[in-house]
Amino acid sequence: MERLEQSGAKELLAWAVSEFGSSLAIATAFQSEGMVIVDIAAQISPHVRVLTLDTGRLPEETYRMIETVRERYGIAVETVSPDPGELEAMVARHGPNLFYREVALRNLCCQVRKVRPLERALGGLNAWVTGLRRDQHDSRADVRKAEEIQGKLKLNPLADWTAGQVSDYIQQHAVPVHPLYAAGYKSIGCAPCTRAVQPGEDERAGRWWWEQDAAKECGIHFSPEGKAERKLDVLLSEILEAKRA
């Protein structure tokens, strides 16, 4: 694992493509980091798998990026959607915009729309790749380039890259850019939960901006601790019970 930690981004991706083949996938929402990884990986193999979470609340610009990847790289992006029964039960019980009311409900929405669908998708993989960088936010400061999670290898090839390095690569290689960056967005997720950032704000400030002193993560890369987590467990169990009813 330490050898992988010392590898450069292209070296790490080349090793992963060779080692895992079709049991490896890049998970991306087509932000800058994800697109850099797609560009590097496509140079290594035209058959690399790319998957994205279609939460049902994505901005139109993100759907456009799916077509852009198909046109530029010849890669048919695999879309991963929430379980219809879980989604119906959650909306029926809490409404479509539950995330504005409290952190626990926002975490529940992320669980149903993002975390659980990704877990199902990862069930058929041995390794996956993300675009996490250590300097994106304090909660990501300890991200490693390679880590084993529940028997699967998670790779973060750009963990030690800066925002400037990402930008330089995009310019040098004419990598497609998500249209919302031109509108002032720095981090792009679901449409209701993402806004442009103001001068001086960090990259994650536009995510769930109405929350105060809450972890700016959806649960895929960070597990909330304390009360929010315990309440989330209760809320999720209620949704699963309602689905079975």
Tokens representing residue 117 in the block: 């669908």
Q: Nearest 5°: phi and psi at 143?
A: -60, 135
6 class by beta-carbon count within 10 Å (0-12 exposed, 13-18 middle, 19+ buried): exposed
Q: Whole-angstrom Cα distance, residue 170 to residue 185? A: 16
Tokens representing residue 107 in the block: 């975490």
Opening angle at CA 41, ends 39 and 47, nearest 5: 110
Active site residue 190: no
CB 35 within 8 A of CB 28: yes
Q: Are strands 146-149 and 127-129 parallel, antiparallel or unpaired?
A: unpaired
Q: Whole-angstrom Cα distance, residue 37 to residue 131? A: 7
**Given 109, 110, 193, 218, the catalytic residue:** 218
- Catalytic residue positions, numbered: 218
